[in-house]
Amino acid sequence: MQIIFFEPLPSENWSLFISLLPLDWRNELILQWPKNRGVQSVFTLNKNGAIVAGGIVFNQMALNPTPLEFLHGPDLFAAGHLYLGFVWVVPSHRSLGLGAQLLNHIAKAAPKLWLTIEDLSLESFYIPLGYVEYANTLPEARPQEKLFTIG
């Protein structure tokens, strides 16, 4: 029997999720949020005792925001939104609905969120979950980026 449960990780266990992320994401976390600056919560889905998905909620701007984040992030934080980043599902567990399950749980714990995507194919993942496009870069911009909110 497979048991999947949602868990906010205590800060001393954040590294359990972060160690699962791709190396470039881990490096970005180290550069942008030294000593967990701005991290409010790390949320995970666990299956039979192993983390299979997770995401990080931040309560302040990154040290090196993208242009879209720099432009809109301060107003979103001022309006009570938190930033959701580093949403990850272990590759062997993708296409099982775990990402949607994770985000639904996170939205209950932090109902006002914003996030950015550079992989525009992710729109089809976030929009059905209630995320609404708030802003985007011009189509000729590189990288292209979209900002979504919920709540």
Classified by CATH at the fold level, domain 4-150 comes out as Aminopeptidase (3.40.630)
Tell me the chain's radius of gyration from C-alpha atoms: 15
Summarize pLDDT for 12-43 with one digit per residue, the tens: 888 899 999 999 999 888 877 777 778 889 99
What are the extents of the domains in the chain? 4-150
Q: What is the percent of the chain where pLDDT is above 70?
A: 99
- pLDDT at 142 exceeding the cut of 70: yes
What value does the mean pLDDT of the chain take? 91
Residue-level pLDDT at 62: 85
Summarize pLDDT for 107-130 with one digit per residue, the tens: 999 999 999 999 999 999 999 999
CB-based burial label for 26 (10 Å; 0-12, 13-18, 19+)? middle
Q: How many CA atoms lie within 13 A of 8 on its CB side?
A: 12
The whole model's pTM is what?
0.92
Rounded Cα–Cα distance for residues 69 and 140 (Å): 18
- pLDDT at 92 exceeding the cut of 80: yes
Residue-level pLDDT at 2: 66
Q: What is the percent of the chain where pLDDT is above 90?
A: 68
